[in-house]
Structure 1
Amino acid sequence: MTQTQAITRDGILDELRWRGAIAQTTDEDALRAALGAGPVTVYCGFDPTAPSLHFGNFVQLVALRRFQRAGHRVICLVGGSTGQIGDPKATAERVLKSREQTAHNVARIKDLVAPFLDFDGSTGVEHPAVLVDNLDWFAPLTALDFLRDVGKHFRVNQMIRKEAIAARLESQEGISYTEFSYQLLQAYDFLELYRSHGCTLQIGGSDQWGNLTAGVDLIHRVEGVAVHALTSPLLTDSSGTKFGKSEGNAIWLSADMTSPYAFYQYFLNIEDASVITLLRIFTDLSPEAIGDLEHQVTVEPYRRTAQRTLAEEMTRLVHGDDATDAVIAASEALFGRGDLRVLDPGTLADAVEELPGGGVVPGGTLTDALVAAGLAESRNAARRIVGEGAVSLNGERVADPEQVLVEGDFLGGVAAILRRGKKNLAAARRRDG
């Protein structure tokens, strides 16, 4: 696929706009002028309220990556302090993480972001990225100093207009002062980075608009200068639900929380209505390449070429070439275009986890396996579909419903892969006794 050409400093806003990655800006004309005048320092913060980031966060990581490649300075902030509180949800109070949990999550996220930004200049970027932890400046700050030097610049009547806070105030549960104060903490992050790094732009999701503008206002009040905020649209699933740690539908970037195979399959199964939007936001494909894929979605949607491209591009970016090649081979083999027996054992195990199925013991029959795996509602039905030639075992057609499953049929010692027809796959998982 054709990659887009290098982005210039003053062309970054046009690039983000075309990719659908801009929802709001404080003053686009002033920001455009600043970006064209020289390198701007931009930051985004990620709270370690979970041991991984999810692909909703990835919108901001990709945006930071684009800013860096365009010649701007980027800062990735991991919230070792704010992560102990958490941005208020509209629905309920967060369960606070312990200091030990937060520290563990901070370390994980620091490792996670390293491959996406250039922190040492090894790729030839003009300005290496900077990684900071806001615990470094909040830990020595006393509550009294914070209230005197920061709290005095905020007006409660403005703070309660924030959507999540307003919703909580209307609820029976209300909102704790702990979560209510979060906006001040994020605003102070921006002020600290302005003072220490000359940072003049903060980016985030559109649900962060109130927090971002709080920082803009604080810097203006304290330092007397104008800085900028920019948000991207929130990504939602097909039901309109926000992708996020709190919604129970997160697609994690860490391989031990969402396997590379499950990650690839998720994007492979994106609905036609969303695939072009995600290709624009996440990939470096050129307008011409994405236009071609959009045309294919219209004229040949059954080929799912756009989804395959999205799944491959995303998995390569997040998990690397080796893992991507392995999951593509597994996906093709599972759906009849490769040899299941030569697959990487780890990837095969991940793939089996994503399949429906049931447990069978070695020595059981194919009929037993089909019923246990849910591909036949009864033993008679299992015998019938085998007789019709509609069943395969590990990619090979079978004809005898009483065929016995031996140890070698359980790939990797884990499961036998059964198929009914072209699309119905299941795993007969090995169990003892």
Structure 2
Amino acid sequence: MTPTPKSDFLRIIMERGFLADCTDLTALDDALIEGPVTAYIGYDATAASLHVGHLLNIMLLRWFQKTGHRPITLMGGGTTKVGDPSFRSDERPLLGPEQIQSNIDGMQKVFAQYLDYGENGAMMLNNAEWLDGLNYLDFLRDIGRHFSVNRMLSFESVKSRLDREQSLSFLEFNYMILQAYDFLEQYRRYECRLQMGGSDQWGNIVNGVDLTRRVLDQEVWGLTTPLLTTSDGRKMGKSQGGAIWLNGDMLSPYEFWQFWRNTTDADVGRFLKLYTELPVDECDRLGALQGSEINEGKIRLANEVTTLLHGAEAAASAEATAREVFEQGGAGGDLEVVTIAPDALPISVVQLLTQTGITGSGKEAKRLISEGGLRLNNEAVADPQTQLDAAAIGDGLKISVGKKKHRMVQIG
């Protein structure tokens, strides 16, 4: 691995923590120095919105463009019809063409906030453009002959599935061939020489690099980012209320801001480097704050990330609302604290709502939850069967119903 890369892009992403692996870092570094390089990341249209788990690679594309190169966001209109089996325990449900297109429409809104799609800027493509019209026999003869089944079975994403004796359909097995073909086709059309993605995509990316070299005798590269988990071991972007969506109509800017405001102390410095454009020294300073001072770093993180996605006005509004709720109790007074005895745990959210006086009955509590009206530490809770133990309550659990009804639950 190049210890001190010459190119701005590699230097920046390495010092900020984006780099997991690369097929040939030295050669890529040289190419980035020589002139603009085109790179892509693919996104299958499995949901109506991207989520926080995608944000790391969106920021990677943003840095790629900011350092003078051309990013491609590739919508998987074709590959979504097959489904990526990487590190999954079962086959993805197949989506119809209308649902796939609807999902693509929803996903595209986010990219415009991070990338410049103006003339000679970033490109947005859809692999259905070349995959939908493939002739199967020609494809097998021209492309399929370059793939070794033995080698494909050795990739960890496939091997882990087979080791658990879980079925891998022939449809899914074709996915890695189609993704490799995406790289080849984008080189042919746009001289795209780099594919980037999460480290779970390493096998698929290497296949694309090898195929492009075999068919076109051209040098191309692959680069991956680490799969992030929070300091307490949770997958990045997952919360008690489900995925943290990037589309504002699926998760409000206030809830998005709160997600980042609730970052664990140990993750603040790392997340500032990955999800904001603050100088690394400032990220380190904020991340090193101790005690209550670390809240300065959390608020800065929430403001910076929310500004990039939803704009400065939405970030400022979210911070103001949060200050009103937490510092003034939402209605001019301190937040009412309710104490629960340790032997009363675990407790269901329905019982919690009635015991804290937020609802008058279990029936009312269940209705409130089913209508999406409950937040615990500002994360939506949709299941009335949810149980809370001492770990979930921790040093304090904030219950919110609407913007004005709040309680702080503590164990005593």
TM tier relative to shorter chain: 0.7 to 0.9
Shift of 1:247: 11
Larger CA Rg, structure 1 vs 2: 1
2:286–2:294 contact (8 Å) kept in structure 1: no
1:302-339, Cα deviation, whole Å (9 max, x unpaired): 54111111111111111112221221111011013486
CA distance in 1, matches of 2:184, 2:218: 11
Aligned to 2:204: 211
2:54 aligned with 1:66: no
CA distance in 2, matches of 1:280, 1:224: 37
- 2:27 is aligned, of 26, 30, 33, to 30
Aligned to 1:385: none
Q: Percent identity?
A: 41
1:56–1:234 contact (8 Å) kept in structure 2: no
CA distance in 1, matches of 2:6, 2:117: 19
Shift of 1:241: 4.0
- 1:371 is aligned, of 357, 377, 392, to 357
CA distance in 1, matches of 2:239, 2:42: 17
Rate the CA distance shift 1:262–1:224 in 2: closer, same or farther, 3 A: same
- Residue type of the partner of 2:184? L
- Residue type of the partner of 1:186? Q
Rate the CA distance shift 1:85–1:204 in 2: closer, same or farther, 3 A: same
Shift of 1:206: 0.7
2:48 aligned with 1:51: yes
Ranges in structure 1 where 5+ consecutive residues have no aligned partner:
1-7, 122-126, 342-355, 361-367, 375-412, 426-433
CA distance in 1, matches of 2:325, 2:241: 28
What TM-score, normalized to structure 2? 0.78
- 1:82 is aligned, of 79, 83, 86, to 79
CA distance in 2, matches of 1:71, 1:305: 33
2:101 aligned with 1:108: no
Rate the CA distance shift 1:32–1:414 in 2: closer, same or farther, 3 A: closer
Matched residue SS, 1:201? strand
1:160–1:166 contact (8 Å) kept in structure 2: yes
CA distance in 1, matches of 2:181, 2:74: 13
Matched residue SS, 1:57? helix
What TM-score, normalized to structure 1? 0.75
Aligned to 1:175: 168
Shift of 1:294: 2.5
Rate the CA distance shift 1:151–1:301 in 2: closer, same or farther, 3 A: farther
1:127-206 matched pairs, under 5 angstroms: 127-206=120-199
Aligned to 1:280: 273
Matched residue SS, 1:160? helix
Aligned to 1:348: none
1:225-282, Cα deviation, whole Å (9 max, x unpaired): 1111110111113443434789984321112222212211111111111111111111
Rate the CA distance shift 1:415–1:195 in 2: closer, same or farther, 3 A: closer
CA distance in 1, matches of 2:27, 2:201: 21
Aligned to 2:392: none
Aligned to 1:312: 303
2:8 aligned with 1:11: yes
Shift of 1:291: 2.5
Aligned to 1:91: 89
CA distance in 2, matches of 1:211, 1:242: 21
1:370-394, Cα deviation, whole Å (9 max, x unpaired): 42459xxxxxxxxxxxxxxxxxxxx
Matched residue SS, 1:76? strand
Deviating more after overlay: 237-246 vs 177-186: 237-246
1:348-370, Cα deviation, whole Å (9 max, x unpaired): xxxxxxxx88999xxxxxxx894
- Residue type of the partner of 1:333? E
Rate the CA distance shift 1:272–1:239 in 2: closer, same or farther, 3 A: closer
1:47–1:80 contact (8 Å) kept in structure 2: yes
1:327-406 matched pairs, under 5 angstroms: 327-337=318-328, 370-373=356-359
- 1:221 is aligned, of 214, 227, 248, to 214
CA distance in 2, matches of 1:148, 1:133: 24
1:272–1:301 contact (8 Å) kept in structure 2: no
CA distance in 2, matches of 1:47, 1:247: 24
Shift of 1:99: 1.6
CA distance in 1, matches of 2:355, 2:165: 52
2:269–2:288 contact (8 Å) kept in structure 1: no
Shift of 1:174: 1.3
Ranges in structure 2 where 5+ consecutive residues have no aligned partner:
333-348, 361-400
Instruction: Give the 4+ runs in structure 1 shifted more than 6 A.
Output: 244-248, 356-360
- 2:405 is aligned, of 410, 417, 421, to 417
1:81-120, Cα deviation, whole Å (9 max, x unpaired): 1112221043111111122211111111122212210001
1:158-183, Cα deviation, whole Å (9 max, x unpaired): 10112221122233431001111110
